[in-house]
Structures are given as structure tokens and as C-alpha cells.
Structure 1
Amino acid sequence: MEYTTRDPCGQEGCRESRFFLDNGLWFCRRGHQQLGRQVEEDPDDFGTQGKTSRVKKPVVEKAQKKYRGRQAYRLYLDVYQLILWKQCHALVNDKGFPPQFENVVRDLWALRLETYATKIADPADEDSQPEFFSSQPAGAREDTHTEAFKSGSKVVQWPRLIDTIALCYLAALLMRLPVSIADFYRLAMRNEIPYYQALFHVPRDMKDKLPQAYLSFLDTSRLLKAEDLHNAIPELALFYCGRFKMQFPPLNAPSLMYRLIRRLALPVHIYPVAKRLKELLGFTFEYPSQVVSTRKPLDKPELQMVTLVVIATKLLFPFDDVQRHPASAHEPTVQAIDWDAWAEVQDRFEKRDASAGRIGKGKEILVNEGDALTMTPDQLDDYMDWYENSWLDRSTGASALASLFPLGSSAEESRPATVTAEDDEEEAIDSMLQMARRYLKNRTVLSDVDPDIPRPGSQYARYRDESDLPATARTFYETAAKVIGIPLPILVRCVHHAEAQINKWLEDQRRIKHFAEQPVAESEDSEQEITEQHSE
């Protein structure tokens, strides 16, 4: 038998390199048939070895990589629900929220999920794409509020990523938890609840099957602003009120207002004055339940609360240099605030992390290339640790060069355990309140009845625009706006509108008093005329 030397066999570990031809097929010396090397004899070409042709592999139908139509709708809602659950899990297990909080969020999400029942359950829409994609919040405009969630509507208002935080806030509001919008904003900025790169928390097989149009709804292309939450939460609350006839309770105002006054390092006498102003202005601290033609910033409960605190502060502790004297030592205005010293205390509070050689929790995402040139080695280590934990996608396979760049700081285990950001902030506020003696000073008490003596509350200054603010008032306005999470111009406008309502109420009271005294004067004149006639 003639053998031909070819490449090693390779079957079952066979290294035989001598082969023979039998009926057009190659076999090694040990009898292993060689697949893909078939030789057919050509009767017209006698004496040749035949033509070599390769055996074709069976065609395997490729599986669909991206879902479409109804499958994509369902998968997007599954991914969204998973992110929402991870946020609730972090709030309950890491931030001390009550366990019932997750049930309330689930019920609110189940209600909204009903609005997509037609779109995800229609079998005739298996391979079609939605006619319109919209990333606007539910009911963002009056003309789309009733149409966007109508059964069978062609407009699909998909829930945005920011709506997950809004939904958690509404659940906390239903439970009357003393949590503000600024608290949820800080949690998102510190990445203590999944928000930035939330898709990292989603299994890769789910992300790979979701179209890019849906992934863009869950991607954070820009930094979150607290103002965005102030706009998204009322819209979502308005949707629940309009669609399901829900009624959200008012804010837990006593706790939230106390926290605001404490953060601003103001005397506690601000609270009763703000409470009296609330009754005068008719604020309810509730979100609107109906769509109105014109929306005002003062319709938002937390803006109402900070407006009351600002006006009460201006009444008791004005920003000018006029010497006002209380009439009694028991009045809350017996003390005055040195606003320059107060600004120094607030500035020291804001820069406490930098003075301690740290970046500050939640400020890592604000670091730019210019800041990197002035950062200390410890700050650089903190930033890289944050970047690794927040932005590194571990679901992808490691590359060949990954071993050259090990993850994790070598000194991370040796670092001492640090307190949480909440505990650190509370300790800093306590330290700031202990320095109150630096900016609180006593006023001279004058009990004289002289009307020319300036009293607290007199010569009240009103500021229409941001440019009208003096230096001391601007610092206080900016701090209050930053704490509550709104721009400075909006706070100035809210305070001015509330002051206009108070001024109108004062004018009405003067008018009522004037007309109440006028009939008495006319009756006295008529009685005097009658007595004169009788005397004559």
C-alpha cells in the first residue's frame, strides 16, 4: 500500500503523518478518516489523483442579537425596574430607610406600569418600532399630559432615569419621611444609589439585547442638577394625581424646616416666625394635584419653605447696618447677626474637606483637568478609587494588558476606617453651631415709647432682582439656594413674590381699619350737631 506524507492526523491525539487514499477519502496509517479532504476520481482524466473539495459545514442560523418591538419594550421595562430595585435596596440597607419603603415604591411603579400594558401585550406589534420616542417626563406639558398615557396612544412616554429618583422621593413623601430633594440629589452625586452609569448594574446579556435607542434613555450624558429633580418630581406627582386620583400629603415641614434652619446656622427663633408667615400666605406645602395654565415656582413645597425662612430671617436679622432696638429683653430680636462673620463660618464649613486634605464625598465627579494639577497624592488616590468603583465596567472581559495595571489601591486596606458622609456633615454642622458666638451679638434694649426709635422689622428691604442684593444678603441667598438645590434667581423671585403678597395683606388690613374707624367718626360728628341744636 502506498502512503503519502501529509500533516499530522490530530484525531484522538494521533500524530501519524502517513496517509493512504481509499475510495476518494484519506485515512491515516492508523485508520482515522480525515474530514474535509475528500478526493473524487475523474473518469476522463486517467492517472490523476482527482480533485480536492472541502466538505461544507452545516449552516447554523444566527440568533437575533437585538430585540425589537414588543420584546424590546418588555426588556427595557425589566432593566428599568432592576435599576429602581437596586436604588431601593441601597436606601433601605445602607441609608436606614424603613423596610416598608420598598413596598411603597413597588406599588407606585406597578401603577405606572399599567400605562404600558397595551404596548407590551399587543401580539400584532411584534416586529414594529414605536412611532415616537420621547424622553420627556410624564405629563411634562399640559397638552400631552392626558394624551401621552391614554390607552392605545401612539405617543410612548418612556420613563427616564431621573424618574427613578423622583419615584423614590414620592414614596418617601407618602411615608412622611423627613427627606428633602437635596438629600436625594446628594445621594445620586455621591453614587450611593445607582444613577451615574446605572447600566453597570445590569447583567450584560440584558444590555446586549436592548437596542441603542433604549439604552440612551438610561445613559447619563450630563451631570444631574438639583433643579432637574425640582422639575421632575412635580410632573410625576401630577401624573399620579391626574391618572389615578392620588393625593400626596404635605411635607413633613417641622423636621425639614428645622434641618434647614440648623444647616444655615440660624437661631431657632426663625421657626415660629416662619410658621406664622405660612398661615398668612396660605402655603400648604403640598404638590399641585391639577394642571394649571401658569406654573409658578412658589407652587413647589420646598421652595415655599425656604422662602419663609428667608423672609423670617430678613424680619428678625436684617442685612443692613441700621441699629434697631427691641422694646423688651424677652423678644427674639434681642440678638443680631454679624453677617460678615456668619459668611466666614459658612465658608469654613464648605471648605472643610479641602482643609483636611480630601476631595469631599460627591465632589469627585466635579474634578476637571485643571484640578488634577493641584491635587495632593492622597486626593489623587481618593479620586482614582472613586473612578474605579463608579466608572469601571467589570462585566467586560479583561484584556491582555490588564495584568500590567492592577486594580485597587495598595494602601486601601491600611487606611483607617472613616465615618460616613452623613456623619461627617452632621459633625461639621455641630461644630459650626458651636461657633455661633462669633456672629451673634446683643442689641441694646430700649423700652421708651418714642416712635422715632427704629424697631426690629422696620425699614424692611425688598429685592426684586439678583443685582439688587447687597453683599451680605447675596451670601445668605446663595447659601440658602445651594442648600435647597435651586438657582439664585429663582429664590430671589420667590421671595419677592411672597413679599408682594404680604405687602398686599398689610394694605388690606390698613384699609379695613380705616373704614372701620370712619363710621365711628361720623357718628360722633352727628351727635355733636344734635347737642348743639338742643342747646340753642
Structure 2
Amino acid sequence: MSLRAHKRPEPCGEENCGSRRFHVGDDGYTYCDRGHQQSHRGTVIAEDTGELVQLGRKQRRRDSDAESSARSRSRGFTGSKALEHYLLALQLVLRKQVAWLVSVAKLPAELEAITRDIWALRLRRLQSRVSYDSETDTEAPSQVFSSQSENESATSRGGGSSTIGRRRKRHVKTDGTVNLAETLAVLHVSAALLRIPLTIADIVDKIDTGELLYYSAARAVPATLLERLPPEFQGLLEPQRQLRGSALHKRVLELAALLGGEFGMEAPRANVPLLLYRWMGELALPLEVYAGTRRLARELGADFTVQVREGGAGSPVLLRYPEVQLMALLVVATKLFFPLDDVERHPTSAQDLSALQMDWDAWDATHNVSSSSSTEQDNAARGELRFSEAAGVTEPDCLTMGEAELDRYLDWYETNLASESVREQGRAGRDADFRRTLMRLFPTQPSSRAPPVEGEDSVGGEDRSLARSSADEATQRLRRVQQALRPRGIVVSAGDGAGGVEQGKVARAGSFYRRHREAADLEGPTRTLYAKAATLAGVALEEMTRAVFLTERGLQKREQRGAREEDAGEE
């Protein structure tokens, strides 16, 4: 007995079908089990009537302009239309950010007008890449997205199937476009033009707590607009990496360079008196540090503007940021007049800025206790994790979490990542009933902290109460540090009066000055001072250490240059 090879029928020719089961309909045509007509199989006649069977002519029907436009809208935007609608979504996010700063943070209402003007100037750079013609064919590829040559474009098309080609294409498509970090830079520049002491650290802190829109910006965009954007632009509205202060400093520098180079706008200047007053209060430093910092700034000729032009081939980038430059000078002034070592130094008079001596051990203990208590109070008041804390949670951390900690983490996950919305259209709309039923089976309790709403008084009242408690705590900390100040012994030099000591036999302010090149060299109160300064300046500890070291080296070079000029004058 021979076995005949079973030949499988050809699959359905419809795209993404692949069915191999067919049946003949009443009209004589063959259909697959999913209902697709198999025109290439012809018709099947039940009985021979002698009539001539005509299969008919195949003709492809062209869609009308309206149908083509509707189909294009259902698929999403491409080309210049995608960029145009992405900018609309980004502008909506910027509008909500400004609204929060004005209504909740209580910044002046003029910030909105300045932000609108700065944003309009920034968008002029993209004017040639955006098509304002509503009848433009969105299916046609736009050449303005690519800065490559024709040969490179052809190479990219030839290797489009590879992963590297796809990554390069995605990079070229979004290259040069604005993103959420640049909206924050626009806010910072606008505040600086109004002389508002809104620092980089303030912005990073507010987006970390979720009060200022950034990580969940896609939730503020209507779903009908977000779903029609390409995945590349959707990813720009949902940043996954934590925003660092140094990256935002760089964005501000680039924006200031653009506004100055193309539109002739002066670089914004930091509000030095308010920033120094605020930082000295938070660091609990004596008032003499303020005068010392201003004196050092005059000595170096620092104007604390965003330095859009490099000072030279070896010009440090960190010192081009005004807030980092000011904080570095503050740390240097503190180390000059209140050294963090045990060397005995003596002033020449009671009016000397170094006439007082700080108890750095008490200062360190005060800051460590206050920082831990303030963190606990902040977490208890807000009831939700920061983005930096939640993003660093690992699987072993979840296994060791307590009930309260796990609730806080799940509340953060529900507020920022999870969604109970059910889509009614598209492929996901087929399971809409199932999704609604599933949501009803597993209801969730309202999160401990609702997302911020524009102009909501309760959120503003909570922030104001937290600000008042933080200010009271800073006042108490400053009072304890001031009470620990002790006067130094005054030693007069020989040339200043009878009984004086010879010059060089007594240590003065600035002698035995210690410099630290690396953050690993810091310890004790010195490390605490550098760490607090880095947090307030919006940079990492290593970057703050580098900025202070560069400032100290600049002062040393200036002092050596002055000594050489004096020697040359005497000769």
C-alpha cells in the first residue's frame, strides 16, 4: 500500500492572513475562513448550463482624496506633519509648565509673556522644517528631516533592514528638534531675564518630585494627538533617563548661545545678591562669607552671565555656568575665612573677615541631622517617591520593602506609569469589553498624592506649608551655627604697632590653604560642604570639586601674576 504525499493548499493571498481553509460561496467565488475573496481562483459553477463563463476584468479602485486623507489620519503623521504636531504637543507641555510656575509656585505673571517670546525665537530655527499647508501629502517623505547627502541617504535606504540602519535613521529624524529638556531651559532663561532666582537645582528638584511636568509629559498631551505621532517623537515626550543638572546647565548654555548668535540677545545674568543670600541661609554660613565672595568676584572680574563664548582653548566648561561659578567662589571664600582644619590662624584686627572661628564639627552634625529629618518630613508630607528614588528600585529592594514602602512605590507606579484608560478604537478596541471587565475585577485605591492640577489651591497650600517649615528649619540651623562662633586671637604685625610680630611668623587667613582635586580626597565637614554646595548648584559632587579646584587655580595664577608685576616695578 503506497502513501500519497498530501499537498497543502496555497495560503490566502491577503496580507497578514495566511489561512489555508477555503469554501465556495453562493456567488461561485472562493473564500477563506476569514472571509477574504480569492479572485485569482476564479469561479466554480455547480452545473454546466452551456453558458460562457466570464470571469470579469480586474480593476484597482483609486481612493478619493477624502478617503486617502482619512486613511492617512488613522495611520498617523509622517514627514513635516509629524514634526509640526510634535511641536504643538511640546508647546502644550510648556504651557502647563508655565501655568504651574505662575499659579502654584507664585512666580510673576510676566514669565508667561517672556517664555512665549523665547519659545517663538527658538522655533524660528525649525521654521524651514515645518509645513503649514494642511493639504500637504503626509505620505511623502520630507527631505528636511535629514542633514545627510544624497549618497548617504541612498546608503541608508539600501541598508534599512539592518538594526544599525534603523537606529541611524531614527537619530537623523529627531536630530536638531527641541525636547522637554529644552523647554526647561526656556523657563530658566525667561526667569533669569526677569531677575527671578529660579536655579537649575530648583527645576531638577521639582521635576523629580513630579510637581513640574517632565517625566509624565505624555499624559498631558491628548491621546488623539499622541497616538498619531511617530514612535520617535512619542519617546521624546516620555523620557526614561533621569535628567541631571549638568545636562540642563548645558541646555541653557546652548540656548543662550543660539539667542545671542542669531538674534543678538544678551546672555542672562544671575541675580547674585538673592542667590548668595539664599545659599548662605541654606548652608548656615556666617555673613562674612557674603562679603568675601563678592570681593573674590571683583578680583576675578566675574559678571555671572552665561558665557556663550569660550575663554580659550583650555577654558573650563563648568565655570561658564553662572550658578556653578558663583557657588565655587562661595566655597573658596568659606575656606579662606573659615578654614576646615586645625591650624591656628590669627587676624590683624577685629574688623578682619577672618576674626571669627567656626565649629565645623557642630556645623556638620547640624546639617546631617537636619537633612535626614527634612527628608523624612518631605516624604511623609508628599506620600510619594521621587522619580530618582523609584527609578533606582530593583527586584531585591521590592522583596525587602515593608508594607508602607511598597504602598508608596505602587502609588508612584500607578500615578506615573499605569493607566486605567480603555481604548475604543484601533486594534486594541477589539478587547475593550474585556479590559473594562478586568479593571472592575481589580479596582485600585486612589493614590496618596494626586497629579498636579493647574491652579489648584490645595497643592499650592501644601507647597507653601512645606516651604514655611523648611525656612523655619534653616533659620534654626543658622541660629545654632551662629551661637557656636568663637573669636580668634588678634595678633598685630610688627609694622602695625608696638609689640607686633614679624611678618611670616604667624599664620594668617589664606595660609596653609588646602586644595582638593578629586572628590575622593574629601572627608568630614569638607565633604559635607562640597556635597551641599553641589546640590544647590545642580551638579554632581565630582563636578563641584572640579569647579572649586579650577577657581582656586585661577586665583593662584592671578596672585602670581600680580607678584611678578610688583617685582618688575621695583626693579
TM-score by length of 2: 0.70
2:321 aligns with 300
* Correspondences of 1:154-303 after superposition (within 5 Å): 157-290=176-309, 294=313, 295-296=315-316, 297-303=318-324
1:422 aligns with 467
Secondary structure at 2:206 match in 1: helix
- Deviations, residues 402-450 of structure 1 (Å, cap 9, x unaligned): 224434449889x998554433432332232232157533433344521
Question: What is the distance in 2 between the residues matched to 1:411 and 1:173?
Answer: 35
State yes or no: 1:400 paired with 2:437.
yes
5+ unaligned residues in a row in structure 1: which ranges? 1-23, 25-41, 46-58, 135-152, 519-536
Question: What is the distance in 2 between the residues matched to 1:237 and 1:427?
Answer: 36
Cα 1:430–1:246 change in 2 (3 A) is same
Question: What is the distance in 1 between the residues matched to 2:264 and 2:311?
Answer: 16
The higher relative CO (CA closer than 8 Å, separation ≥ 6) is in: 2
Secondary structure at 1:509 match in 2: helix
5+ unaligned residues in a row in structure 2: which ranges? 1-25, 27-45, 50-62, 148-171, 424-434, 451-457, 493-498
Question: What is the distance in 1 between the residues matched to 2:234 and 2:268?
Answer: 34
* Correspondences of 1:379-390 after superposition (within 5 Å): 379-390=405-416
- Deviations, residues 58-108 of structure 1 (Å, cap 9, x unaligned): x98772221112221211111111111111111111110111111111111
**Worse overlay, 424-433 or 106-115:** 424-433
The answer on whether the counterparts of 1:242 and 1:290 sit within 8 Å (CA) in structure 2 is: no
The answer on whether the counterparts of 1:257 and 1:271 sit within 8 Å (CA) in structure 2 is: yes
Cα 1:170–1:309 change in 2 (3 A) is same
The answer on whether the counterparts of 2:286 and 2:482 sit within 8 Å (CA) in structure 1 is: no
From 352, 362, 365, give the equivalent of 1:341. Answer: 362
- Deviations, residues 172-209 of structure 1 (Å, cap 9, x unaligned): 01111111111111111111111012000111100111
From 64, 84, 87, give the equivalent of 1:77. Answer: 87
Letter in 2 for 1:167: V
The answer on whether the counterparts of 2:385 and 2:409 sit within 8 Å (CA) in structure 1 is: no
Cα 1:273–1:363 change in 2 (3 A) is farther
Letter in 2 for 1:128: P
Question: What is the distance in 2 between the residues matched to 1:358 and 1:450?
Answer: 56
From 500, 509, 528, give the equivalent of 1:449. Answer: 500
- Deviations, residues 482-519 of structure 1 (Å, cap 9, x unaligned): 2212122222222222222222222233233334334x
State yes or no: 1:63 paired with 2:71.
yes
Question: What is the distance in 1 between the residues matched to 2:550 and 2:84?
Answer: 46
Secondary structure at 2:379 match in 1: coil
The answer on whether the counterparts of 2:253 and 2:308 sit within 8 Å (CA) in structure 1 is: no
From 417, 420, 440, give the equivalent of 1:391. Answer: 417
1:106 aligns with 116
Letter in 2 for 1:349: S
Letter in 2 for 1:474: R
Cα 1:323–1:113 change in 2 (3 A) is same
State yes or no: 1:514 paired with 2:567.
yes
Letter in 2 for 1:493: R
The answer on whether the counterparts of 1:341 and 1:438 sit within 8 Å (CA) in structure 2 is: no
The answer on whether the counterparts of 1:281 and 1:498 sit within 8 Å (CA) in structure 2 is: no
**Worse overlay, 307-316 or 475-484:** 475-484
1:350 aligns with 371
State the Cα distance separating 1:390 from its structure 2 match. Answer: 3.4
Larger Rg: 1
The answer on whether the counterparts of 1:79 and 1:202 sit within 8 Å (CA) in structure 2 is: yes
Secondary structure at 2:486 match in 1: strand
* Correspondences of 1:474-513 after superposition (within 5 Å): 474-513=527-566
The answer on whether the counterparts of 1:357 and 1:378 sit within 8 Å (CA) in structure 2 is: no
State the Cα distance separating 1:244 from its structure 2 match. Answer: 1.2
The answer on whether the counterparts of 2:128 and 2:144 sit within 8 Å (CA) in structure 1 is: no
1:330 aligns with 351
Letter in 2 for 1:450: V
Cα 1:381–1:133 change in 2 (3 A) is farther
State the Cα distance separating 1:356 from its structure 2 match. Answer: 4.8
Letter in 1 for 2:486: K
State the Cα distance separating 1:479 from its structure 2 match. Answer: 2.0
Question: What is the distance in 2 between the residues matched to 1:97 and 1:219?
Answer: 26
- Deviations, residues 346-395 of structure 1 (Å, cap 9, x unaligned): 11122114555936758532132455566665555444444433334455
Cα 1:254–1:197 change in 2 (3 A) is same
Question: What is the distance in 1 between the residues matched to 2:463 and 2:88?
Answer: 35
From 129, 146, 160, give the equivalent of 1:119. Answer: 129
1:128 aligns with 141
- Deviations, residues 145-182 of structure 1 (Å, cap 9, x unaligned): xxxxxxxx999511011111111001101111111111
From 364, 367, 372, give the equivalent of 2:386. Answer: 364
The answer on whether the counterparts of 1:68 and 1:211 sit within 8 Å (CA) in structure 2 is: yes
Question: What is the distance in 2 between the residues matched to 1:271 and 1:516?
Answer: 33
Secondary structure at 1:318 match in 2: coil
Q: How many residues in Structure 1 have an aligned counterpart in Structure 2? A: 447
Question: What is the distance in 2 between the residues matched to 1:408 and 1:453?
Answer: 69
Report the aligned-residue RMSD.
3.4
Cα 1:82–1:292 change in 2 (3 A) is farther
State the Cα distance separating 1:322 from its structure 2 match. Answer: 0.7
TM-score by length of 1: 0.75
State the Cα distance separating 1:246 from its structure 2 match. Answer: 1.1
State the Cα distance separating 1:469 from its structure 2 match. Answer: 3.5
Letter in 2 for 1:449: G
Cα 1:209–1:258 change in 2 (3 A) is same
Question: What is the distance in 1 between the residues matched to 2:378 and 2:334?
Answer: 34
